[in-house]
Structure 1
Amino acid sequence: MKNRALVLSTALACTLALGGCGMVPGGSDQRTVRVWLMQNSVSEDFLNRFTEAFEDEHPDIELDVTFQEWTGIGKKVTEALAGKDTPEIIEVGNTQVAGYAESGGLRDLTLESVRDLGGDEWLPGLAEPGSVNGSQYGIPWYAANRVVIYNKELFAEAGIEEPPTTRAEWLEISEKLDTASQDGIYLAGQDWYTLAGFVWDEGGELAVEKGGEWEGALHSKAALRGMEFYRELQSHGDGPKDADEETPPQAQVFAKGRTAQMIAVPSAATVIEKANPELKGKLGFFPVPGKSAEAPGSVFIGGSDLIVPEKSKERAAAVEVVSALAGEEWQLELARTMNYVPNKTTLAGELEGAEGTSAMAAGAVRGRATPSSPQWAEVEVDNPIKPYMTAVLQGADPATAARSASDRITSALRP
């Protein structure tokens, strides 16, 4: 939505001083940068502060921001990229960039990203999906990833003083916390994003590219080891084996007060505390543990990149706006306002004091995205990873079930 007060103020100033809005002091043409952001990505307060600061610093540029709904956004962006009246900047999911780049409608931002934005410090889980064939089309904006949310009171009752730092320790304490009256961990059987992290930790992949074609890779020995760890961890609680984390919503289960741990983005703590105010002050956070204490575990990282359509009218001005949004000052403002992870690994240390966000930022260093195939969205339409996980948890032969899932992934990736 547009900051109408600023727009009217700018328009009035132009009218009084210049007799119109075509020019600004100094003789430069007034440029309007139209920006599509996704609904709820930023607060109105953040948008107003950024707009005011940016337009003060760039009096020849006016921002026109519109919020878009996620539902149906793929078709809308594709049509905008091919149309004649295209916005200057579009926020897209980090895993969507490859599909849009394939259409040929995006500006190559490689020079800008390398020269001005410190691209060598970006989170890999945002930067890599935005890069296609060596060209950077998506500029990382913000990220979010899963952490472990735990009940400090239940940990204390079990004599556990510190969160685990390795997967072996994690299994040990989860088993200790799993009793007749409580779950050591609530982990639904089809939480495939969490499984992906375990697969990556073992050196496996969900899919790999060979000879220019993608194929499923869940049947590799490394990926099977990731599934085995998932099975062990999931056994220390009563999460359903045939449903994902939203069926039922795991935050509502945790809010009952008899679950020691769950894996979710930190904002789930707000949902938990709203459902059960008695848990306020009793929730803690730690990064998903890795195989050794030297680094946290791999996690799926979601978030957004900013793209500049090739057909937009004000591409140079758009790059200035993107540079500001992706720069250090507004990255930290966005992280503090919205509890996101900044786009650079070097900014994580600036978030001390925000326990959940700090844990998320620590884990984001090992964050990764789904395979960069433009067809990956087709895999998720009827996701074969979910029934594969359920089959293994219910006793099916892992190798056989994994091969079947891999074959279905391959089919989806080869239209």
Structure 2
Amino acid sequence: MKVRALSAARPAARVMAAVLLSALAAAGCAPSTSDNSAKGDAKSGTLRVWLFREVDNAPKEKVVDRAVAAFTARHQDVKVDISYIPVDTRAQKIKAAFNDPSSAPDLIEYGNTDTAGYVEDGGLADISKEFAAWPETADTDPTARRSVTVDGKVYGAPLFVGVRALYYRTDVFRELGIEVPRTLAEVAETAKRIRAERPELYGLAVGGAYTYGAMPFIWANGGELAREKDGRYTAAIDDPAARTGIRAYTSLFGDHNCPASACAQWGGNDTVQAFASGKAGMAIGGDFNHQAVESGAVKGRYAVVPLPGRRPGDIAPAFAGGNNIGVLKSSGHRTLAVELMKSLAGKETQAELFDAMGFLPTFTDVRAEAAKRRPFVAPFVKTLDAGTKFVPASPAWASIDSGLVLPTMFQEIVSGRKDVDDAAGAAADKMDEAFRS
């Protein structure tokens, strides 16, 4: 539901308006508000922050607690309340916060694909001046800077950049005499062999709701999510090349690899957890999943390589993901919120998040230093260097993503409810409807 301003109710209609707003809330949709802009700029009180909960969240919490402690040491009259929210349900929760400023946090962590939609909804504050005046941002890489920029204005600070690569079990590969796959076709063949010879394992953990794990299959086969012309987007998910990639990904669901009954509902965290817990021979995971795998049952028995493309030597294009930290437009503590944002997304914190979680820093100097200290980032840096892809830079993507258009498409196929052509066509229709709205 988009944020729209309501005109002030006339005195005689206020009771009716209150009843309507109560009904909307009871129906599970937060009411629109007449004004979600900040009321003042308090220099004391409590700052509320929503951050994403990771697969293994404890290391992240320690880094955040240190950054918060440093901030509150400088601001004695300020308290900080941190809440960790599920990534999969972020859209509903954050949109509700935009529509109800009285219960909204001051700062949120958000995915870089959400920037344009959140700006259109009026939820994020324009911090262009503060960002430009922050000395550290001189070292922000251009891709990360673009992830917080809409129409030339800055709406947050990049927190980390993330790409995915292929995690695989070195002990299983050695036991079965398997070579590291060099193409996507070999990835599928390897997955089937692992499943056949070690039936207690999934060959390659895949998920019907794992959109960003599926996209490399589409892009590697020459497909695209959408086309852009004169600033307008139209769906391309039903083009022949995209359908080839969809078939390649959905063919991995079944008893021969990852049964749909178990895997159709999985998202990215589920597939990583399956690998980390020792239940899969391979998984497509991010640099940001490194700590979760290190903390799992496969520690010391895995390696990572770039996900291969169609031909030997190719690297499948990865989604250039990552998260940002933004100040809400409704915050009554704008100055403090911007300062806390700098503490949470600054160079020191990004370096610590890399060590704790494997999150790749968005500052080029911090990332270069991190790569020297921790060689595990090499396959992810190679993936970045090979060329990455991004989702359509349209506010409509937020509704496409939160509406589960692509996961629904994958799940319809793997469940047998629709074939690839019908499911892709239906997804394209939904995407085009969103682009037109």
- TM-score for both structures, normalised by structure 2: 0.68
Structure 1 280/140 Cα, relative in aligned 2: closer, same or farther at 3 Å? closer
1:352/1:358 contact within 8 Å kept:
no
Partner SS for 1:341: coil
Q: Which residue of structure 1 aligns with residue 153 of structure 2? A: 135
Q: Alignment partner for residue 94 of structure 2, among 47, 68, 74?
A: 74
Structure 1 151/352 Cα, relative in aligned 2: closer, same or farther at 3 Å? farther
The CA distance in 2 between the partners of 1:51 and 1:270, in whole Å, is 23
Q: Which residue of structure 2 aligns with residue 192 of structure 1? A: 211
Q: Which residue of structure 1 aligns with residue 342 of structure 2? A: 323
The CA distance in 1 between the partners of 2:108 and 2:299, in whole Å, is 37
Are 2:424 and 1:405 aligned? no
Q: Alignment partner for residue 404 of structure 2, among 357, 362, 383?
A: 383
Are 2:249 and 1:230 aligned? yes
Q: Alignment partner for residue 45 of structure 1, among 53, 58, 62?
A: 62
What residue identity is the alignment partner of 2:238?
Answer: H
Superposition deviation, residue 102 in structure 1: 1.2
Q: Deviations over 1:267-326 (max 9, x none)?
A: 48857975xx5x442222333234577774333455431222345445344434333433
What residue identity is the alignment partner of 2:317?
Answer: S
Are 2:125 and 1:104 aligned? no
Q: Which residue of structure 2 aligns with residue 5 of structure 1? A: none
1:341/1:364 contact within 8 Å kept:
no
Q: Deviations over 1:64-99 (max 9, x none)?
A: 343253455224430355x6x975533333333323
What residue identity is the alignment partner of 2:171?
Answer: E
What is the percent sequence identity of the aligned residues? Answer: 27
Mean Cα displacement is larger for which, 241-250 or 257-266? 241-250
Structure 1 344/291 Cα, relative in aligned 2: closer, same or farther at 3 Å? farther
The CA distance in 1 between the partners of 2:253 and 2:138, in whole Å, is 37
Extract unaligned runs of 5+ from structure 1: 1-28
- Aligned alpha-carbon RMSD (Å): 4.3
Q: Which residue of structure 1 aligns with residue 29 of structure 2? A: none
How many residue pairs get matched? 379
Structure 1 300/401 Cα, relative in aligned 2: closer, same or farther at 3 Å? same
Superposition deviation, residue 105 in structure 1: 4.7
2:306/2:382 contact within 8 Å kept:
yes
Partner SS for 1:150: strand
Q: Which residue of structure 2 aligns with residue 260 of structure 1? A: 281
Are 2:171 and 1:150 aligned? no
Equivalent residues in 2 for 1:11-410 (5 A)? 34-38=47-51, 40=53, 43-55=60-72, 58=74, 62=78, 64-67=80-83, 69-70=85-86, 72-79=92-99, 88-113=106-131, 116-118=135-137, 121-122=140-141, 124=143, 127-160=145-178, 163-164=180-181, 167=184, 170=187, 173-174=190-191, 177=194, 179-182=196-199, 184-188=203-207, 191-210=210-229, 213-230=232-249, 237-241=256-260, 243-244=263-264, 246=266, 249-250=270-271, 254=275, 259-265=280-286, 267=289, 270=292, 277=297, 279-290=298-309, 296-300=315-319, 302-344=321-363, 347-349=366-368, 350-351=370-371, 359-360=379-380, 363=383, 368-380=389-401, 383-389=404-410, 398-410=420-432
1:190/1:241 contact within 8 Å kept:
no
The CA distance in 2 between the partners of 1:48 and 1:397, in whole Å, is 49
Superposition deviation, residue 203 in structure 1: 4.9
